[in-house]
């Protein structure tokens, strides 16, 4: 595995970081707890020492699964990355959306990052994860009802108390990053990025490069679209958030698969899967520090971790970029 320093900090994360959203089941059409635990352990055995989760993933389930999976592993050999600012148990802040929990009960999701809420959420996350500190603590989505300074004053206090090591953000634009930095140094921004979804390269990634802030790319496989295993008539399980998503329209799947067919010979030449080729390309992209790769079972986890063994020359990266442009991505 390869490891990269995050921002100006001394925190290093595994370049392939385990993304534990799907492990929590919520919005992915259920999960198998034992499979998820095995996936995390298999990743760790291959050097994936960093795990990204959030309280909202399964309304605590994902963090508890991570906590179970890491029992017995020396804490200083792990980097735990989690989030705050999405409440399903408190109707405050920006209303996000309606959803259903893993039991099928309707819940309302709010984006809220008031001071007392941040402190409370941290305590809950520490309990679920079974640890006494979080390596990187990130606001999950902007909350327009709370001053950014108030939110990060709370994170500052958690850092002073030793409960958090570093502060990050997710889904922040440049103006929000600048404002947050006035209260506390932000070392990273977790944002959506994939071969077919590169809007963040216009402003956010160049700003992060300039200010030495790391980019943690989430959904680098575009939630399974870039595996080459999706077909135009793919049927999603009940509760799967991908149903109705623009990337999963029959036209989008066909267009993406036509592009993937063009780069498959390169994957074959490298004795790699398409997923592994896509992940390696992602972490070679300027400004992209870490790729978050989700897995729901051991096989997927092992495959994701092995992506780091794929080596790409400048010419091969250019070949992929040329095919992307030809495909209209």
- The residues assigned a catalytic role are 57
Nearest CA-CA partner of 14 in 53, 51, 67: 51
Q: Tell me the two tokens of residue 189.
A: 């921004």
b/e 288-320 (16+ beta carbons within 10 angstroms → b): bbbbbbbbbbbebbbbbbbbbebebeeebeebb
Nearest CA-CA partner of 166 in 124, 207, 138, 199: 138
User: Alpha carbon of 287 to those of 184, 215, 228, 290, 315: distances in Å?
Assistant: 22, 6, 26, 9, 19
User: Alpha carbon of 171 to those of 79, 125, 176, 205: distances in Å?
Assistant: 21, 20, 9, 12
Q: Tell me the two tokens of residue 87.
A: 């409440």
Beta pairing partners, 19: 52, 294
């Amino acid at each position: 595995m390869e490891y990269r320093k995050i921002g100006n900090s001394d925190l290093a994360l595994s370049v392939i970081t385990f993304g534990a959203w799907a492990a929590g089941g919520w919005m992915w059409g259920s999960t198998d707890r034992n499979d998820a635990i095995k996936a995390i352990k298999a990743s760790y055995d291959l050097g994936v020492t960093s795990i990204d989760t959030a309280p909202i993933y399964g309304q605590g389930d994902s963090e508890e699964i991570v906590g179970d999976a890491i029992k017995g592993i020396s804490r200083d050999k792990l980097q735990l990355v989690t989030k705050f600012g999405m409440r399903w148990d408190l109707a405050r802040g920006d209303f996000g959306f309606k959803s259903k929990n893993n039991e099928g009960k309707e819940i309302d999701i709010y984006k809220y990052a008031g001071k007392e809420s941040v402190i409370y959420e941290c305590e809950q996350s520490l309990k679920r994860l079974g640890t006494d500190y979080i390596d990187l603590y990130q606001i999950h989505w902007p909350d327009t009802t709370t001053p950014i300074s108030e939110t990060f004053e709370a994170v500052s206090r958690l850092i002073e108390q030793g409960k958090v090591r570093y502060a990050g953000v997710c889904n922040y634009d440049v103006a929000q990053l600048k404002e947050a930095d006035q209260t506390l140094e932000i070392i990273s921004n977790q944002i959506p990025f994939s071969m077919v979804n590169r809007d963040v390269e216009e402003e956010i990634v160049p700003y992060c490069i300039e200010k030495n802030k790391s980019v943690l790319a989430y959904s680098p496989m575009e939630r399974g679209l870039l595996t080459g295993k999706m077909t135009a008539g793919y049927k999603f399980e009940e509760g799967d958030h991908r149903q109705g998503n623009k990337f999963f329209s029959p036209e989008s799947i066909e267009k993406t698969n036509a592009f993937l067919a063009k780069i498959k010979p390169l994957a074959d030449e490298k004795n790699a899967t398409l997923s592994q080729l896509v992940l390696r390309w992602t972490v070679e992209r300027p400004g992209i520090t870490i790729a978050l790769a989700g897995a729901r079972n051991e096989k997927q986890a092992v495959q994701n971790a092995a992506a780091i063994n794929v080596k790409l020359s400048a010419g091969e990266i250019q070949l992929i970029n040329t095919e992307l442009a030809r495909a209209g991505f």
